Structure 1
Amino acid sequence: MYKLKTRKAAAKRYKAVGNKKISRRKAFRSHLLQKKSTNRKRQLSQVVIASPGDTKKIYLMLPYL
């Protein structure tokens, strides 16, 4: 059987955590931060667990995760 290719863009964005869960970072934290409140920026900087529907798609993109 041939080797499956990993989607490199997904490999840079997602990380496996315990029990078949995927961690990801939140969006909207790269620029235009002046108009966003401090509380909003702090919450956007947190790492969260990807939703179950997205997790299935991410595992297809990352076969060796």
Structure 2
Amino acid sequence: MPDAAALAELDERIAIARANLAELMEQASAFSGAADEDRNADRINEQQDILDALLKQRAALAQ
């Protein structure tokens, strides 16, 4: 049986990562310039990698 506390913690971290991604997407659309776009793209990719890893952890734990 999955550990409910661990699942709850992962759910919270997933929600934070999703909120970070949404905020970064808003910032990316507001900024202009190649340097800003590259920096935002890097930050978005980093957050997406974190979210993907958390979702993978959660799926493994929930089994």
Task: Report 1 or 2 for greater relative contact order, CA contacts < 8 Å, sequence distance ≥ 6.
Answer: 2
Q: Which has the higher strand share?
A: 1
Q: Which has the higher helix share?
A: 2
Q: TM-score, normalised by structure 2?
A: 0.31
